[in-house]
Structure 1
Amino acid sequence: MNYIEVKLNINPEFSDIFMAELGEIGYETFTEEAEGLNAYITEDLFSEENLDEIMERYLAMTPISYSYSTLEKKNWNEEWEKNYEPILAANGRVRVRANFHEPDPNIQYELLINPKMSFGTGHHETTSMVLSLQMEIDHQAKKVLDVGCGTGILAIFASKLGASEVAGFDIEEWAAENSRENVQLNDCDNVVIRQGTIEDEPADQYDIILANINRNILMRDIPKYVEFMKAAPSKLIVSGFYQHDIEDIEKVANESGLTKTHTENKNNWAAVIFERK
């Protein structure tokens, strides 16, 4: 079966949204590029009409254009393995690899991540920054919530850092399924993943909340996250936005009773730790 490659020219802020939207209509694999996003779907499932329908919903929010072409039949697992290299985060203390990579005994923490989609492998700046910030926070015997867990990478790392209980959820069924697979791959028995949103998250209180999503969702949902945070000094780590968005994010956090304690920047992306005082 041949594949169709769709090249989307979009604002990178919308990459994860489009991966979710396209995943719903049969797209299997994504690669984030400088110009936007490449998406891949089998030729029998491709529909230009379905693609145009998604584009139209976002044209008012951001400039979008696309082109597509048919690719020759390939062994996509082999191609994926050739292009998925292990990455290092937290100044070399964390290594993210797939199960076909050889382990490195010299690394303090190794995370095994086999993604169904590319977002959340640790290669994106936002994910690597959150991993680094997690290293700065005491997770021992703490309860952790991973909002929009993707591949489960942050929840898995929380478990490896000593968290007593870890919960995670994602709105997408494929993401929740992938997270569970990776949780099992890393032998993290104290991590529970479900499909859903913050709106139907079971009421509980957490010491640490992780939210690597995007600016618009964070601006809307930070007040809801606070409802799940224990009294001081519980912490919220957020990322998925640019440096110039920090002021807006901080304003919402301050209004919700949170104080910024640390900021990290990488290639214009940002990650911030807020604390409930």
Structure 2
Amino acid sequence: MSNTIYLEYNFKVDPVQPASDILTAELGNVLFESFVETEDGIQAYIRKEDWHPGILDDIHILKNPLFTITYELKEIEQENWNATWESNFKPILVSDKCVVRAPFHDKPQVDYDIVIEPKMSFGTGHHETTHMMLQFILDHDFKGKSVLDMGCGTGVLAILASMKGATQIDAIDIDNWCYLNALENVERNHCEQIRVQEGTAELLVDQKYDIVIANINRNILLEDLPSYVNCLNKGGIVFLSGFYEQDITVITEKCVGLGLKFEKNLKKNNWVAVKYVF
């Protein structure tokens, strides 16, 4: 793979919350694909080939008078991503049972020790949506289950599902860099049950799963939910995140129309993760 050039936007946000979360969501809708939280805002990354001069024109929060948001822009190559990430990344503890850490961190005494190098991929556990999805996986029985992790990013959710006893796992992402990174992290954590694939919901033809996990933005979820439900075994579970509390109504309406039943949701800083049963 050629060495892709990324653009790094370093946003300074005042007040930091909830503006940083809103900014992250809006940037994710215009092809920004990776984010790092900082003390005074976020760093956001987009491939140079996906960038255009008006990329921020439709980012509404930048025009909101309630917040002061400034930014600096620079180019960064993938080979420099690890140095950027390592300077910000600290181990994440979830429910006192699971740690998501880097290889250079000390090994913790927990039930589930996940070692990742996210590079340009989303899913370190720092973001509220990933953290809540990890909570859901920790709280549910995955032993002997078949699992789909859609929009897998680093592969961290699939890896925890494997550690919890899932026997067949497909981890899918449309982005080539996420695909390659997930392959590395799956191998690093010795998860032979996970098959990593590059692509979209079109790969789900003739597939069946007991559990579907999808941490993707609202619009993609609404578009792809029929494909998820079509490959879900009766009595199966769907865990969704990547959207805000105010989006639960429209997501749930879509799910109910497809035969799913709302069961519960988690909330963290206005982000939500929701469980549905089939």
TM range (shorter): 0.7 to 0.9
Aligned position for 1:11: 23
Three-state SS of the structure 1 residue aligned to 2:261 is: strand
2:56 corresponds to 1:51: no
Residue of structure 1 equivalent to 2:98: 94
> How many residues of Structure 1 are paired with residues of Structure 2 in the alignment?
255
- Corresponding residue SS for 2:223: helix
Q: CA deviation at 1:160?
A: 0.5
Aligned counterparts of 1:100 and 1:194: Cα–Cα separation in 2: 27
Q: State the partner residue of 2:257.
A: 255
Unpaired stretches in structure 1, ≥5 consecutive residues? 24-28
1:179 matched to 2:191? The reply is: no
Residue of structure 2 aligned with 1:38, choices 32, 40, 43: 43
C-alpha distance in 1 between matches for 2:264 and 2:164: 19
- SS of the residue 1:52 aligns to: coil
Q: Structure 1 residue 77: deviation in Å?
A: 4.2
Compute the RMSD of aligned alpha carbons.
2.9
Separation in 2 of the partners of 1:168 and 1:94? 20
Aligned to 1:170: 173
Q: 1:46 to 1:216 in 2, by over 3 A?
A: closer
**Residue deviations 1:208-235, cap 9 Å, x none?**
000000111112221221001011x100
Q: Which amino acid aligns with 2:134?
A: L
Whichever residue aligns with residue 14 of structure 1, its letter is E
CA distance in 2, matches of 1:213, 1:46: 22
Shift of 1:35: 8.2
Mark the CA change 1:51 to 1:6 in structure 2 (over 3 Å): closer, same or farther.
farther
Mark the runs of 5 or more structure 2 residues left unpaired by the alignment.
1-5, 14-21, 64-69
In structure 2, what is the equivalent of residue 239 of structure 1?
Answer: 241
- Structure 1 contact 31–118 (Cα < 8 Å) conserved: no
- 1:53 deviates by 5.1
* Residues 69 and 168 of structure 1: CA distance in aligned 2, closer, same or farther (over 3 Å): closer
How do residues 144-223 of structure 1 correspond to structure 2 at under 5 angstroms?
144-223=147-226
For residues 9-35 of structure 1, the C-alpha deviation after alignment (integer angstroms, 9 at most, x for no partner) is 8732134345xx356xxxxx7424588
Identity rate of aligned residues, in percent?
39
1:154 partner SS: helix
> Cα distance, 1:82 vs. partner?
3.1
Change (3 A) 1:171 1:152: same
- Relative to the length of structure 2, the TM-score reads 0.81
Instruction: Name the CA distance, whole Å, in 1 between partners of 2:175 and 2:210.
Output: 25
Which residue does 1:26 correspond to in 2? none
String of CA shifts for 1:163-217, please: whole Å, max 9, x gaps. 0100011010000100000000000011001110002334211000000001111
Distance in 2 between the 1:32 and 1:262 partners? 28
Which residue is 2:233 aligned to?
230
Q: Which residue of 2 aligns with 1:85?
A: 90
How many Å apart are 1:244 and its aligned residue? Answer: 1.2
Q: Aligned equivalents of 2:38 and 2:175: distance in 1?
A: 22
Contact preservation (8 Å) 2:121, 2:177:
no
